[in-house]
Amino acid sequence: MTAGHTITVEQGTERVRVEVDGQLLAESDRPLVLRETGLPPRYYLPPQDVRLDLLTPSDTTTHCPFKGDASYWSRPGSPDLVWAYPDPKPEVATIKDHLCFSATEVVG
């Protein structure tokens, strides 16, 4: 990590839902909560709690110097809606294959 930049990952206890255009894409009561300097908390959900059948892999990839290379999934009208790190850096290894949506709702 660079000076002043930190990332923590912890087991969350919140119930998290992701709904797009009235369709439930994910619901989990076991999210990982990633907190990164300068960014809002992000919820990484286990793949078993995500409707992968409603998502299509995208050709998009991005590189984060702190987390690694991300792969993306889309759905009609919502490109690159969700991402995951299939091979994250050791410091955040627990997020491996968990999925993160650009917008989530904490429901309790």
| Each residue's pLDDT expressed in tens, for the chain with a length of 108 residues | 466 789 999 999 999 999 988 899 999 999 999 999 999 999 999 999 999 999 999 999 999 999 999 999 999 989 999 999 999 999 999 999 999 998 777 775
Neighbouring-strand partners of residue 10: 33
**Locus of tokens 């792969």:** 71
Question: What gap in Å lies between CA 104 and CA 34, rounded to an integer?
Answer: 13
Domain boundaries, the chain: 7-106
| 7-106 classified as CATH 2.30.30.100 | no
**Locus of tokens 């909560």:** 33
The whole model's pTM is what? 0.91
Vertex 60: Cα angle to 30 and 36 (nearest 5):
45
Question: What gap in Å lies between CA 77 and CA 106, rounded to an integer?
Answer: 23
